C-alpha cells in the first residue's frame, strides 16, 4: 500500500511539472513576440528590446508575462495600459539615447 501511495504522489508531481512546463512554453512565446514588437517600434537589437521589456516590468511592478501580453496585443487593439505606455516610452527613450558599442 505504501508503494502505491508513493506512485500516486509521483504521478501527481509529474502532472504538476508538465503543467508548469506548458505554461512556461506559452509564456516564452508571448515574451518572444513582445520582443519582436519592441524591436519594430524602437528599431532596437533583440538584446536591447529584451532589456526594455524587463525594465518596463520592473518600473510598473507588473509581471513580465503580463507586460508582454499587453505589448503583443497593442498593434491590434491600438491601446496600452497608461502605466505600461509611460514606462515603455521612457525605456525606449533611454535605450535609443544610450551609446552603442564603439566601432572597431
Q: What is the pLDDT of residues 47-101, one digit of tens each?
A: 999 999 999 999 999 999 999 999 999 999 999 999 999 999 999 999 988 765 5
Q: Which set of grid coordinates corresponds to residue 65?
A: 508575462
**pLDDT at position 52, please?**
97
Structural domain contains residue 47? yes
Number of domains in the chain: 1
Structural domain contains residue 29? yes
**pLDDT at position 33, please?**
96
Closest CA to 54 of 44, 40, 68, 42: 68
Structural domain contains residue 36? yes
CA atoms within 13 A on the CB side of 68: 19
The pTM assigned to this predicted structure is 0.75
**pLDDT at position 5, please?**
84
Has residue 6 got a pLDDT over 90?
no
Structural domain contains residue 100? no
Structural domain contains residue 85? yes
Structural domain contains residue 11? yes
| Span 31-35, average pLDDT | 96
Structural domain contains residue 102? no
Q: Which domain holds residue 91?
A: 2-95
Amino acid at each position: 500500500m505504501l508503494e502505491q501511495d508513493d506512485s500516486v504522489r509521483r504521478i501527481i508531481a509529474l502532472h504538476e511539472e508538465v503543467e508548469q512546463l506548458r505554461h512556461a512554453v506559452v509564456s516564452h512565446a508571448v515574451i518572444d513576440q513582445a520582443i519582436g514588437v519592441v524591436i519594430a517600434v524602437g528599431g532596437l537589437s533583440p538584446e536591447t528590446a529584451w532589456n526594455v521589456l524587463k525594465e518596463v516590468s520592473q518600473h510598473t511592478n507588473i509581471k513580465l508575462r503580463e507586460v508582454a501580453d499587453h505589448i503583443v496585443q497593442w498593434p491590434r487593439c491600438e491601446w496600452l495600459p497608461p502605466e505600461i505606455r509611460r514606462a515603455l516610452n521612457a525605456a525606449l527613450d533611454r535605450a535609443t539615447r544610450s551609446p552603442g558599442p564603439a566601432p572597431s
